[in-house]
Structure formats: C-alpha cells, structure tokens
Amino acid sequence: MPPSSLRVVYAFAREMHPKTTDIFIEYGTAGFRTKASLLEHVVYRMGLLAVIRSRCKNGRTIGMMITASHNLEPDNGVKLIDPDGEMLEQSWEEIATRLANVSDNDLESTTGQIIKEVNADMGLKASVFIGMDTRYTSPRLAAAAVHGVMALKGTAREFGIVTTPMLHYCVKCRNDNTYGTPTEEGYYEKIVGAFKRIRQTLPVYGKYSTTLHVDGANGVGGKKLNIIKKTLDGELDLVLFNLGGNGGKLNLNCGADFVKVSQKPPVGVEHVPFQRVASLDGDGDRIVYYYLDDNNRMHMLDGDRIATLLASYITELLKSCAAPSLALGLVQTAYANGASTNYITQQLKVPVTCVKTGVKHLHHAALAYDIGVYFEANGHGTVVYSNNAKNTIKKIAEEGEPEQRKAASLLLNFIDMTNETVGDAISDLFLVETVLCARGHDARDWHAAYTDLPCRQLKVAVQDRNAITTADAERQCTAPEGLQTRIDELVAEYKDGRSFVRPSGTEDVVRVYAEADTQESADKLAAQVAQAVFDLAGGVGDRPELPA
C-alpha cells in the first residue's frame, strides 16, 4: 500500500476520532479496558490493526468485540479475536499498545511501520466481524471500529449486540465452515440443538429439577437466554431475572463477578432454600452457580466446581467408550481453591496444570491435552477437544459395542454443546445442566464432592500496579523487594494458609487472595497481606484495615 493510501488513516483520526488524552493505555488480559470516554481513538485504531491482522492471516476474518465484561457501566473496552476464535496472539499485544498510544500526527507513519514490520500484504481482501455489549457507549465505539476498518479498505460486518462468546464462535465458523454457521442463529442451532438432543435421551430423575433461576447481570447474556428459553420445549425451565429493565444497572450488585467476589447473592431475586441459581456476567462469558441453605448461608459453585463437574463426567463417558488412550487434563490458575486441586488430583486422578491468570494462558495450556478442561475460579472457562479426540470418539460411535456407541454419541453431542473457542456462560450452563440431569443431582449433591477452604479476595489501590511482578504462575511475588518474604511470614501463622498477590489485568489495583482453615482466618490473612502490599508497593487512599 503506497504511503498516499494511508492519508485517510490520519484524516479519519483528525476529523472523527482524535486522541484527546495523554493517558497511557495497555493491551492486557482482556484487551483495552478503561473509562468509555477515553476509548474512542483506541477503538478506531484497533479497526486499523484488525485489517492489518486479517491481511497477515491471508485474508481470514478477525473479530473485534466492544465490551468491558464484568466491569460497571461507565467502563468499556475492545479486544481482537484471532481467526480460530482465540484471543489475539500475544506477540501482537505490544503492537496494539504502540498503535493505541501514538499521537494523531504520528498515526499515519506508525501504521505504515507496523504494516512493514509484520509484512502484511495490503493488496489482499480483509474481513472484520464486530460485536458489542449492551452498554450505552458501545454503539459509538462500534462506529469508530467500522471507520478504522474502512480507512484501510477492509470489509466490516456488524453483528450488533451479541455475547462475547457468540462473536468468538462466529469468527471461528467464518474461517472454518466445518465448525458451524457464522451467525447468531447458527450458534443457537449448534449449541442449544445439541442440548435438546441430549435431554431427549436423559430421563429426569432423582433430586434434579428442570427449574433453573438465572441472574442475567442486566447484560446481554440474559437477553439471549430469553430468546433461547422459548425454544427449549420444556427440557429446561429458565426463570430469568436482572434482564436490564426496571432501572437495573449492568453488573451493579449482580452478575458473576459480584457474586463470586462479595460472596453475596445478587439483587433482584427472592430465594427459596436450596434453589439452584446461576449468575452470568455482563457480556456472557462467565458463569457461577450458588444456592442458599435454610440458614440463608451462601454455598458457591464457581469455576473450580464447574471444572471438576465437567472433568469427572467426561472421564466417566471416556471409560464407557473404552477410550483410555485419550489424555484428559485440567488447567487452573492460582485462584483455584486448594481443595479443588486436591480433589482433582487425588480423587479424580486427573493431571492439573497451573498457569498465569488470563483465559489466553489457560486455553493455550489446555491444548496440550487430547481433552483439556480449563476454568478460572471466576467462572470463565470451557473444554477443548483435539482432532484426535473427536475422530476417536466418532469412530467408537460408529463401530463400537452398543454401550460404547451410546456413550460416544452422548459425548459427541456434549462436544457440540461446547463453545471451544472461549469461555461461554450459555454453553457452560447447558453443560452443567446436562451433567446434573444425567446424575439426578441437585446443587447440594454437586457441592458435596469436596469442601472448599475458606477464602477471601481484596483489592489494594497503588500508585503503579506494575510495581508488582510475579513468577511461578503468579504464586510468587518477585517485586517489590521484601513483599514475598512478608507474605510467607504471614501465611506461616495460619493452618492451611495460602496467599498471593498480582497486578490486575483489568483495573488499576493489586489483587490479594488468601485461604485458611476458617473464614475468620482467611479474612484476617487477606487483610494482613493487603496491608503489606499497601506499605511496600506504594498504596494510595485509605490503608486497609484488619477485620475486627
């Protein structure tokens, strides 16, 4: 592309999407995420980068999702999706950060430098799929994305309001037509269709109830479940709340992140003891379950619980298929409850890999197995299946003994129900409900598999979150000097104590996690570690207080 062809890049920026702030913004775990008012020039520039990325991938489709996921409504964000429906290749994160932060005057030359650096063939066609969440700022940002695509003569296709996993799915399907149809309807046909096929073969028995209450976080996931609900033919009775009406604010006192971190039920629902409830997050890529007992005490069924439930059921099906050659493994982060890790390795006899926080790290590690189950404790995760696994299971479904064929057919539908591209609250909901139905279990049966160690998460505001550096999948703090030594001293004072700190990938805070044998001890350990972070890493605002 001759330099003259890049002039429109600067013209669009100057006239419509000028850079109005000098605040440095970095492409992190979830792409760019900050106050929506600071993002318009960033999203425009990511439209440019999406076109360059598409041309580097021989014209394959790239995705752009406008969302801030579980953050509150004033925030927004943008992330790019690679051709296989995966997160943007890590080596391009620095390129994205560079492009987002240059001045308008340097934008044209920087764009040209990047094109040359990555050796993009600008003569190729380029395709970009764009989706957005329900935030009031999303349409304006989506328009900026379209202008970025247009500026480099790419083709933009807008999907409007969709869950993040739906856009990942559509990108994957557009580049691999064997995976499905790249539309919202194609998503329903594959994932919901597989659920209905399985449910028609599974009798409802035992303690399982087909009624499920769902907290939609006043976001897009609840809206899409409201569409799906009408097609379930009684196989699952969804009672939906927090769908965005009656003044409900996105993720405010509701949704998966609120429930997981605060360990409180969301607003908007009247609870009956032992009623099974699922909470989605704002863009529909996280899910946690919970129930309240007859003493109004909350029992959490988070990403760790979902991972162990799915891994144990897939293990059962593999045994019934007589497919011992397929290696199943589970991937967690340091946030995984220690009790879950012990249960997986000692009871299920399934190998566990621990990686850094961020779905891109879990997804990559899961691909090392024939069948990889990965979940963050926050409820973000899925299952990935290798071609070898799919072909082996398909062959058993066609040629095995009758019981083997039955189990293999069930597993093939289980695979179709799974959104393998990324964690997907809707897909995961159907997977969980399938396993509970197959076992005749209620939420209490599920929870009884093992007993979580009490835990607490806190946030500490600091001058610079990047002053905290970590190693060993974020379980050891390497800077500032002396902090890890202090954490070790504090942990040693508590039975079953464990704690780690890490800079947030999505907020300007340091996150603190602690476990111990009692909730009181976990709370106290977390507060003590938070004080250490405040003192040694340049805390701002009020100093964290110890619990009374």
- The residues assigned a catalytic role are 69
Which secondary-structure segment (H or E) carries 288?
strand 287-292
Asked if 477 and 484 count as a contact pair (C-beta separation under 8 A), the reply is yes
What would you measure as the largest C-alpha separation in the chain, in angstroms?
71
Q: Which two tokens stand for residue 97?
A: 């950060």
CA distances (Å), origin 104, targets 17, 26, 47: 9, 17, 15
Q: 3-class DSSP state for residue 127?
A: strand
| Rounded distance between C-alpha atoms, residue 405 and residue 395, angstroms | 9
Q: Which two tokens stand for residue 157?
A: 């296709």
Nearest partner of 80 among 131, 37, 122, 115, judged by Cα: 131
Query: Hey, CA dihedral for 252, 32, 142, 167, is it positive or negative?
Result: negative
The answer to whether the bond into 266 is cis (omega within 30° of 0) is no
Asked if 535 and 462 count as a contact pair (C-beta separation under 8 A), the reply is no
Q: 3-class DSSP state for residue 77?
A: strand
Q: Decide the pairing of beta strands 352-355 and 328-333.
A: parallel
Cβ within 8 Å of residue 181, ≥6 positions away? 173, 189, 190
Nearest partner of 128 among 92, 160, 93, 155, judged by Cα: 155
Cβ–Cβ contacts within 10 Å for residue 509, how many?
Answer: 15
Cα Rg, the chain, nearest whole Å: 23
Cβ within 8 Å of residue 216, ≥6 positions away? 222, 223, 225, 240, 241, 242, 243, 244, 280
Q: Which two tokens stand for residue 247?
A: 């003044």
Nearest partner of 433 among 165, 169, 202, judged by Cα: 202
| Rounded distance between C-alpha atoms, residue 101 and residue 274, angstroms | 50
Q: Which two tokens stand for residue 329?
A: 């493994």
Cβ within 8 Å of residue 55, ≥6 positions away? 120, 121, 122, 124, 126
SS (H, E, C) 389-452: HHHHHHHHHHHCCHHHHHHHHHHHHHHHCCCCCCCCHHHHHHHHHHHHHHHCCCHHHHHCCCCC
| Rounded distance between C-alpha atoms, residue 344 and residue 315, angstroms | 11
| Rounded distance between C-alpha atoms, residue 101 and residue 23, angstroms | 8
Which secondary-structure segment (H or E) carries 485?
helix 483-491
Q: Angle at the Cα of 498 (from 495 to 502), degrees rounded to 5?
A: 160
